[in-house]
Amino acid sequence: MNIVVCVKRVPDSSARIKVGADNRTIDPAGVEYVLNPYDEFAVEEALKIKEKAGAGEVTILALGGPESAETIRKGLAMGADKGIHLKEGTTGRDFIATAQAIAAELKGRPLDLLLFGNKAIDDDGTQVAAMVATLLGLPFVGVITKLELNGRTATAHRPVEGGVEVVEVALPASFSAQKGLNEPRFASLKGIMAAKKKPLEEKPAAAGEPRMELVKLDNPPARPAPRIVGTGKDAVPALMKLLREEAKVI
């Protein structure tokens, strides 16, 4: 069982994001970077599948600058076997160019399962997974909360409006992980030490053809000044009046 998990390095979810002076990038001051939380679910699922099968190999793949090596090591520390770092030369790569470089790397590799996060919490792109699957001609099931393998058949749960779809697909196949799929393990000290010696292959990312251009980045529109209407249930009539007359939502 060959499993590849694509991961991205993103600002921690608790980071305060401020737009930089160039109006194109974020101010890096005080921002900590982590393995994208959705990708953690994907790594965990890969490890669980390998453990259950008692055989196989889990490869962590990331495209990004030099710091992405750290992100890959996090996956290795959780228990993955090896890493591939597609090193980014220039910036300005859009989603499709990212997907093209990942697909170029994976094309022709033996692969049974390809796992992604549902979205990267920096650009909130929610597309690279479906794109890579399309480019590789792999069937894809997005936003899954359960994955079961039975020989060469995978059954996934995919929450949709008003229910959960139970989707069946033959391997090789690709999936994107949603919260609820599992509880990602913490890397143990032993895991962290072991990760340092695991193979991490580094190579330049293939060029892609960016189509989307960032015109500018803005801070979110300011919210109106907050107001405390009152205390306890006695404040309810005043709130109702505001909802009716000012907000006009009732």
Partner 1 sequence: MPGPVLVFVEQRDGKFKRASYEALSEGRRLATALGVPLHAVTVGAGIADAAKEFAHYGADAIKVADHAKLQTYANAAWARVIAKQGAGASAILITASALGKDLAGHVAGMLGTSVAQDCTELHVEGGRILAKRPVYAGKAYATVAVKAGPLLATLRPNVFKAAAPDASRSVEVENLPIDAQDADFRAVVKEILASASKKIELTEAKVIVSGGRGMKGPENWGLITDLAAAFGGAHGASRAVVDAGWRPHEEQVGQTGKTVSPTLYVACGISGAIQHLAGMSSSKFIVAINKDPDAPIFKIANYGIVGDVFEILPVLTAEVKKLRE
Ligand X SMILES: Nc1ncnc2c1ncn2[C@@H]1O[C@H](COP(=O)(O)O)[C@@H](O)[C@H]1O
Ligand Y SMILES: Cc1cc2nc3c(=O)[nH]c(=O)nc-3n(C[C@H](O)[C@H](O)[C@H](O)COP(=O)(O)OP(=O)(O)OC[C@H]3O[C@@H](n4cnc5c(N)ncnc54)[C@H](O)[C@@H]3O)c2cc1C
Q: Is 36 near ligand X (CB under 6 A)? A: yes
Site string for ligand Y, 36-75 (x = CB under 6 A): -x--------------------------------------
CB atoms within 10 A of CB 188: 12
Burial class (CB in 10 A: 0-12, 13-18, 19+), 218: exposed
Q: Which of residues 191-220 bind ligand X (CB under 6 A)?
A: none
Q: Which of residues 87-146 bind partner 1 (CB under 8 A)?
A: 94-96, 99-100, 121-135, 137, 139-143, 145
Q: Is 149 near partner 1 (CB under 8 A)? A: no
CB nearer to partner 1: give 68 or 178: 178
Q: Is 140 near ligand X (CB under 6 A)? A: no
CB nearer to ligand Y: give 10 or 86: 10
* Residue 232 interface partner, choices partner 1, ligand X, ligand Y, none, CB cut-off 5-8 Å depending on type: partner 1
CB nearer to ligand Y: give 117 or 208: 117
- Pick the stretch among 49-57, 69-77, 186-194, 207-215 that binds partner 1 (CB under 8 A): 207-215
* Cα gap 15→35, rounded to integer Å: 13
- Kindly state the smallest distance separating residue 36's Cβ from ligand Y, in Å: 10
Give the nearest residue (CB) to ligand X. 117
Which whole-number Å values give the CA distances from 30 to 12, 16, 18, 25, 26, in the listed order?
Answer: 11, 8, 10, 14, 11
CB nearer to ligand X: give 106 or 154: 106
- Kindly state the smallest distance separating residue 195's Cβ from partner 1, in Å: 24
Torsion of CA 201, 187, 44, 205, to 10 degrees: -20
* Cα gap 224→23, rounded to integer Å: 23
Among 13, 150, 219, 231, interactor with ligand Y by CB under 6 A: 13
What backbone phi and psi angles, to 5 degrees, belong to 36? -45, 125
* Cα gap 119→205, rounded to integer Å: 21
Eight-state DSSP code of residue 90: S
Beta-sheet pairing, 153-160 with 163-170 = antiparallel
Contacts of 246 (CB under 8 A, 6+ apart): none
Binding site for ligand Y (CB under 6 A): 13, 37
